Amino acid sequence: MKLVGEHLHWSVHGRKLLADVSLAIEPGETFGLIGPNGSGKTTLLRLLAGLRKPRQGRVLLNDRSLIGMHQREIAQSIALVEQQAETTERLTVRQAVELGRTPFLSALRQWSDRDESIVSQALTDVDMLHFADRLWHTLSGGERQRVHIARALAQQPKILLLDEPTNHLDVHHQLSILTLVRQLPMTVVIALHDLNQAMDCDRLAAMEGGRLVALGTPSEVLTTERLRRTFGVQADIIDDPVDGSRIMRFRHPL
């Protein structure tokens, strides 16, 4: 499924938070969004997920505008894992993940064994099956993050939008979530702060002050000049002695 943003604008109280952002996410690709704090990554993801209506411009899912599509229909194709999703309800981990199946249930389509196994698989994928009966509010930040990802996986979306999914995770779970994301048979748009992790995306878009300032392959976007201008850091690019891949080291500019 192709997801396209055309000339997207978003503002709050006259303050422009997104200005004229256009991008086309190709089916099956892992597309990274990078940019400093407050550059508009979350705002863009929320527009792409249909949670916010652009002030100007439009979001197209396979050439259909999200405006005019029902939330349930959007949710059958697009899942968003937000940075700080909370729930006030007293839910177990399994119940939280079961919510991912909601867009597919109706009076005619009741909960089935298939839904049950999709939920168990999603919990296994994020290494949380053993916590299935734990109450959500007793989980640590990283465990909650993994449950959110499981909820989105249970939704079996065609397009998965992830807002800094490795934020709260220990290094082991960062690697396993990123490996899982890369293997998923779906289109992924992922906002990342770790630029070395961003190197593994198929393409990257760099945001700055609500604008898209660079778009291309990781080596086209993550140039020393871009890192200096957009992030204000001096980057040294070195080769990994193990596999020859690019690694970036960052310093304050001299």
Ligand X SMILES: Nc1ncnc2c1ncn2[C@@H]1O[C@H](COP(=O)(O)OP(=O)(O)OP(=O)(O)O)[C@@H](O)[C@H]1O
For ligand X (CB under 6 A), the number of binding residues is: 10
CB of residue 191 to ligand X, shortest distance in Å: 6
Could you tell me the strand order of the sheet in which 64-65 lies? 15-25, 3-12, 56-61, 64-65
Report the residue from 5, 35, 50, 165 that binds ligand X according to the rule CB under 6 A.
Answer: 35
Nearer of residues 136 and 231 to ligand X, judged by Cβ:
231
Among the residues of the chain, which ranges form H helices?
41-48, 71-75, 93-98, 113-125, 141-154, 171-183, 195-198, 218-221, 224-231
12 binding ligand X? (CB under 6 A): yes
85 binding ligand X? (CB under 6 A): no
94 binding ligand X? (CB under 6 A): no
For residue 233, which phi and psi values (nearest 5 degrees)? -125, 155
Nearer of residues 84 and 138 to ligand X, judged by Cβ:
84
Report the residue from 1, 17, 129, 186 that binds ligand X according to the rule CB under 6 A.
Answer: 17
Report the residue from 37, 106, 110, 183 that binds ligand X according to the rule CB under 6 A.
Answer: 37
Report the residue from 21, 31, 39, 79 that binds ligand X according to the rule CB under 6 A.
Answer: 39
Report the residue from 40, 100, 157, 165 that binds ligand X according to the rule CB under 6 A.
Answer: 40
Q: How far apart are CA 245 and CA 247, in angstroms?
A: 7
Nearer of residues 125 and 164 to ligand X, judged by Cβ:
164
CB 110 within 8 A of CB 102: no
Torsion of CA 60, 154, 31, 198, to 10 degrees: 150
41 binding ligand X? (CB under 6 A): yes
Tokens (6 digits) for 62: 């396979």
Q: How many CB atoms lie within 10 A of CB 138?
A: 11
Nearer of residues 156 and 166 to ligand X, judged by Cβ:
166
DSSP bridge partners of 24: 4
Q: Which residues bind ligand X (CB under 6 A)?
A: 12, 17, 35, 37-43
